[in-house]
Each structure stands twice: as structure tokens, then as C-alpha cells.
Amino acid sequence: MQLGSYDRMIENSVRFYTGYIQIHKEGYWKDKVIDNSFIYDPEKLSAVNQLKGVQTFVPRLESFALSSFKSQTKGALVMGVDPGREDELTRVKSKLIDGNYLQANEEGILISQGLANYLKISVADTLVLLGQGYHGANAAGLFPVRGIVKFAMPQQNNQLVYMSLQKAQWFYAADQLITSIALVIDDPDDAQRITGQIKNIFRGDAYEVMDWKELVPDLVQSIELDNISGKVMLWILYLVIGFGMFGTYLMMTAERQYEFGVMISVGMKRIQLQTIVLLEITMMTALGVLAGITLSLPALTYFHFNPIYFGEEAAKAIENFGVEAVYAFSLDPVIFTNQAYAIFIMAIVLAGYPIWSIRKMKPVESMRP
């Protein structure tokens, strides 16, 4: 379940925001200003797009600006995007709760729900944006609100403003320029390899190519931390299961002491008896593991496609940490096989007890009623 939540955290934070890999001008990540932008080069980008495992790319021009409506003012992150590409990757359109999505070369903007609430602005109102453009140019403009989008992650929901790339380039006086290219790739685990290949394409130029582990180090860290606590839980669970199994074996051995005693006195070799007991345990465990998987699979599948959302109160608290308030479940088969191995190893190790007790058993004593 935790592993499912991680996939989801990565998806939310990375796929729907930073992308798995980003290309910027050298130095942009440290100093995210519009002056650290670069010229959109279609040739290089089509080369990147052809790399194995790269789904697509999203050019963006991002910078901060002051947003204002009537008497309310708040800092906003203005994202100039290609509406078609942006939606293809980050599914912004599906997060629309009011109004319409952006058209290409659109005059208007999308505003995130948290920011809209703060400014008390709604669809068809006009937002004022003030900021600093490329090389110190003044940036100011009036933008009609076309739609309101709602994000799960609070940092996004409270400050994002989307407009078309052209409009943003006009607003920031940054013709042809972009600040970042975000890439979506098939498998997050491939990020490092693809990053290396992109560095080859952009070799010699002043670019920086970063994968998601560099882009969101806090997320990686918190996943690792959470993973450790998850592992501790898992070991406690193993301990509980282990004791349960040991108890069962203990009972089984005690209960069948008489039977075993008779078998040995009439001529059954201990090794034969031990083999049978081991076989029984293996079969019992196999049955148990299979039953466990078959029973849990429907539930896990259900929760995989219908994740558990927290109640409102808890959700608020959790979202304050910048995490989407949802428990997601992974269906990765590796998780099942690993658990099955773990249980089997435990069963075999614990089977040592009945095996040992058969070895030590004195038939006359164990046959005594």
C-alpha cells in the first residue's frame, strides 16, 4: 500500500508538475529568473523526443508575478505553456472546475482554485498581472479568466496561473524564449539513462539537465523516510506472523506427539517422519500464501483503481505537508512474490522446531496418554 502511495506521490508531484526530467539554461534551477531563459530550438527537441522511453516534452516559460483583483493582491507563478502539450502530459484540462480550457494563442488565462478564492475572482473577471520581464523590461497586463483549475498539491493550487506560451512571451517581453522543458518518460526508473543521453544532445551548450530525483529532493527524502517506517512496520508484521506460525507448529507438534510416537515405535524412521512433516508444512504454507493472494487481490485491485481519500479534516492536515491526501495501492507483482518468499522462508525456518522435536522424541514417553 505504501509503495502504491509512493508511485502516486511521484506521479502527482513529478508528472503533474515538474516532469520527470527538465532542461534549463545553466543556473536556472538555482536562480529561477526570467533572465535565465533560453531559445526554443525545435531541432534539438525533436532529437530528444526520439530518445527511447521519452513520451513527449512540454516547453514552459515560468516566472513570478504579482496578481491582483480589486483590492486583493498575491504572488503568482505564471506558467506560459503550449495548451495542447501541457494537457496531454499534465491533464490540466481534467482539473478544470469552472470555465473553459485554454485555446492556442489564447488571450485569457487559467487560474488555480486556491489563488482564485483568495483573490475572490471568478470566470470572466479580469486579472491584473505585474512583474519584471526579460532583461528588466516592465511586465504588465490584463488577462480575462477563462477557467479555474483545482490541484491536489497546495503549492500548486495556491499560486498557479496558466497562459499560452505566446502570451507569456509577450507579457515577459521574452520573444522565442522559454525557461524550461519538462519531459514525460515511460518509466521513472529510466530517468538517469535518458538524462545522460539528453546531456549528449545538449553537449557543449550552457544547459542543465536534471532528473526528478534532483528536481524534488524533499520528495525523494520523505519517501525514503516513510519507506523506512514502512519497513519497520513490515518487520513487526513479520514478527507477528512468525509468532503465529510458530504457535501453530508448537500446537501441531504437541497434539501429534502420540501419533508420532506410535509411528516411530512400529518402525517409521525419524527422517521419514520429518520429511512428511516438512512436506505438510510446505503445502500448508503454499495454500496459505495462495489463499492470501487470491483473497487480497480483489481488494487491492479495487483500492488501486479507487484509492482511499482521507476525510476532510485529515486531508487538510496532510495537504499542509504538500502531499495529496490519498492512500493508493500498488499492484506490482514483485510485492506479492517478495511477501510469498518471506513467508516461505519463515515457514521453513520455523519448521526447524517440529523437525528438531521429532529428532529428540522418546517414543515411550510420547505414547503415554
| Residues binding another protein (CB under 8 A) | 258-259, 261-272, 362-364, 367, 369
The CB-of-264 to another protein minimum distance in angstroms stands at: 6
**Closest among 116, 117, 112 to 90, alpha carbons compared:** 112
Q: Per-residue b/e over 56-80, b at no fewer than 16 CB within 10 Å?
A: ebbbbbbbebebbbeeeeeebbbbb
The CB-of-255 to another protein minimum distance in angstroms stands at: 10
For residue 237 the three cell numbers come to 508484521
Pair 60, 180: CB distance under 8 Å: yes
The CB-of-353 to another protein minimum distance in angstroms stands at: 20
- CA–chain centroid gap for 108, Å, is 32
Distance linking the first and last C-alpha atoms of the chain: 49
β 138-149/109-112 pair status: parallel
The CB-of-262 to another protein minimum distance in angstroms stands at: 5
Cβ proximity to another protein, 42 vs 369, nearer residue: 369
Cβ proximity to another protein, 27 vs 363, nearer residue: 363
Cβ proximity to another protein, 165 vs 273, nearer residue: 273
Cβ proximity to another protein, 312 vs 365, nearer residue: 365
The CB-of-245 to another protein minimum distance in angstroms stands at: 22
Q: SS3 string of 31-71?
A: CCCCCCCEECCHHHHHHHHCCCCEEEEEEEEEEEEEEEECC
| Alpha-helix residue ranges (DSSP H) falling in 79-190 | 83-90, 113-119, 154-157, 165-171
Rounded to an integer, what distance in angstroms lies between the CA atom of residue 232 and that of residue 246? 21
β 180-185/21-25 pair status: antiparallel
Cβ proximity to another protein, 83 vs 261, nearer residue: 261
The CB-of-277 to another protein minimum distance in angstroms stands at: 13
Cβ proximity to another protein, 45 vs 268, nearer residue: 268
CA distances 301 to 6, 221, 291, Å, are 17, 28, 16
Pair 29, 354: CB distance under 8 Å: no
Q: Per-residue b/e over 160-199, b at no fewer than 16 CB within 10 Å?
A: bbbbbbebbbbbbbbeebbbbbbbbbeebebbeebbebbe
The CB-of-317 to another protein minimum distance in angstroms stands at: 57
Cβ proximity to another protein, 89 vs 263, nearer residue: 263
The CB-of-221 to another protein minimum distance in angstroms stands at: 57
Cβ proximity to another protein, 204 vs 267, nearer residue: 267
**Closest among 257, 285, 335 to 2, alpha carbons compared:** 335
